[in-house]
Amino acid sequence: NPYLGPSVEKTEKIKATNIPPAVYNIYKKPVLIHQGHMQWLFDHEGKRYLDLFGGIVTVSVGHCHPRVVAALNEQSKKLWHTTNIYKHPKIYDYVEKLTSKFPGDLKVVYLLNSGTEANELAILLAKSYTGNNDIISLQGSYHGYSNTIQGLTATQCYRMPIPVPAGIHHAMLPDPLRGIWGGCRDSLSQVPGSCSCPMDCVHSDKYVHQLNELLDNSLPKGKVAGFFAESIQGVNGTVQFPKGYLRKAAELIRTNGGVYIADEVQTGFGRMGDAFWGFETHGVVPDIVTMAKGIGNGFPLAAVVTTKEIAEAHMRATYFNTFGGNALASTVGEAVLKVIEEENLQQNSKVIGKYFMENLMQLQKTYPVIGDVRGKGLMLGIELVQPGTKDALSVPEVSEIHETIKDLGILIGRGGKYNNVLRIKPPMCITKEDVNYTISVLDQSMKQFARK
Ligand code: PMP
């Protein structure tokens, strides 16, 4: 389709006046994205990019996937919206299908519109079920952007200079690379110098002990309401926890009166390859699961899934959400699940993710600026360091590499505490050819950087 929108210059002018100044351009020369198809994006001049970030893990099955578009079009002619005090069939089809993906008693679905909103509701559920008030999240976590959830988020660059709301605490991050005890993780790569325990990582107990210290020292005894954790930290640069940590942390929280809330906003919907949900790769079943992003392949949709027992504790207040689960969103959600299943996208994440990781590990051998490669399935991270050290590569240097990768036709994510991790979270339909292309672009970008 021909591009009929504003020029890049005009968008910059509008941005300067009408867009919040806290929204930043990720590139020096911004990309004006006009169209998308599956794993590809096209800018206003028709230049094609391989999208390895998927709108930050949101485009799960592919941009404008034809089957999702068809389902949406069909539904848009019948009914867009009613409220949840009436019934419409799509929501029933959808929640039945969605809950079939969950283990145990996780059977009750609240439909909402964003990850932040889902995490807000999870806090309400945890508090009303347990009767407790205090909530714990991990350092480095990202859970969203609202007054309360910004407090739960423990990533400095997403925090306004306002106090963390009372009753929110941050536990030590069990980070195998930078955590004080290291630790081993479930991926092909192993951190040099850390252990490689066959079962649970021996260091996971030490981080759990730290969590226990927090419970003991900072909260009324046995009075925690909930513990939030991503199954792999996304925004913080693909941080995987030592084996066994999440399972034991959940046990500890439960014995202290609280519930374990898995934030699957980035890790859910088959991306892990080995499992449909990230928590399954940790051998633990949560009490509450929150999800967004990939659930709708770019359509605003989110969900909280929990047990009947927890949902019943919330019955004193009628549940209402104007848009949550509307006919369009439910239709898209159902179509996305069907595509994941029928196009074997979980299996593709596993196979292509492994191939990607193996190739990245090879690349790491050539370029000492690559300090670590990690992740699972199609959620991978490449940590850039000062060669020969664990110190982060400087932000301007990472920006230079990041910009070259874009100029060579690939949009890759970026994050981590030091903004030095390249993040790979593409639509799950990518192929081996796309991986080969990526490796050659990374090779060229690193070469260009090393030559300077
Ligand atoms: N949880 C995680 C793990 C996320 O990565 C994000 C968004 N980056 C959110 C929650 C918040 O989602 P939303 O932006 O839809 O509010």
The residue type at 28 = K
Which of 141, 240, 266, 414 most suits a substitution to test ligand 1, by most atoms within 8 Å of the C-beta?
Answer: 266
Which is the closest atom of ligand 1 to the Cα of 233?
3
Region for residue 105 given its phi and psi (left: phi exceeds 0; alpha: psi -120 to 50; beta: otherwise) = alpha
Which is the closest atom of ligand 1 to the Cα of 56?
8
pLDDT digits (tens, 9 = 90+) for 421-450: 999 999 999 999 999 999 999 999 999 998
CA-nearest residue for atom 10, ligand 1, is: 143
**Six-digit token string for 298:** 């770019």
**How far is it, in rounded angstroms, from Cα 396 to Cα 79?**
49
Task: Sketch out the chain's domains with CATH numbers.
Answer: 8-52+344-451 (3.90.1150.10), 69-342 (3.40.640.10)
Q: Which helix (H) or strand (E) holds 383?
A: strand 379-384
Q: For each successive 10 residues of the chain (452 residues), what is the average pLDDT? A: 91 94 89 96 97 95 98 97 86 97 97 98 97 98 96 91 93 93 74 70 93 95 97 97 95 98 98 97 97 98 98 88 94 98 98 97 96 95 94 97 98 97 98 98 96 78
ipTM of the complex: 0.99
Supply the pLDDT for residue 85. Answer: 79
Cα 198 to ligand 1 centre (Å)? 32
Which is the closest atom of ligand 1 to the Cα of 267?
3
Supply the pLDDT for residue 191. Answer: 61
**Six-digit token string for 269:** 């919907």
Which of 112, 142, 279 most suits a substitution to test ligand 1, by most atoms within 8 Å of the C-beta?
Answer: 142
The 3-state DSSP class for residue 108 equals strand
Q: Which residue has the tokens 């169209």?
A: 35
Yes or no: say if 269 and 278 are a contact pair by the CB < 8 Å rule: no
Cα 269 to ligand 1 centre (Å)? 15
Cα 54 to ligand 1 centre (Å)? 14
Ligand 1 site residues (CB inside 6 A) read 56, 114-116, 119, 142-144, 230, 234-235, 263, 265-266, 292
| Dihedral of alpha carbons 167, 178, 439, 26, sign | positive
Supply the pLDDT for residue 159. Answer: 86
Yes or no: say if 24 and 158 are a contact pair by the CB < 8 Å rule: no
**Angle, helices 327-342/66-76, rounded to nearest 10 degrees:** 150
The residue type at 178 = R
Which of 291, 293, 304 most suits a substitution to test ligand 1, by most atoms within 8 Å of the C-beta?
Answer: 293
Supply the pLDDT for residue 190. Answer: 60
Which is the closest atom of ligand 1 to the Cα of 146?
16
CA-nearest residue for atom 7, ligand 1, is: 144
Cα 145 to ligand 1 centre (Å)? 8
Which of 60, 123, 137, 143 most suits a substitution to test ligand 1, by most atoms within 8 Å of the C-beta?
Answer: 143
Long-range contacts of residues 249-252, Cβ cutoff 8 Å, at least 24 apart: 249/207, 249/208, 249/211, 250/284, 250/286, 252/208, 252/211, 252/212, 252/215
| Dihedral of alpha carbons 337, 338, 343, 347, sign | positive
Q: Which residues pair with 51 in a beta bridge?
A: 411
Which of 116, 241, 414 most suits a substitution to test ligand 1, by most atoms within 8 Å of the C-beta?
Answer: 116
- Give the list of residues 6+ apart from residue 168 with CB closer than 8 angstroms, or none: 134, 135, 136, 137, 148, 151, 152
Cα 367 to ligand 1 centre (Å)? 32
Cα 125 to ligand 1 centre (Å)? 18
Number of Cβ within 10 Å of residue 103's Cβ equals 11
Supply the pLDDT for residue 344. Answer: 98
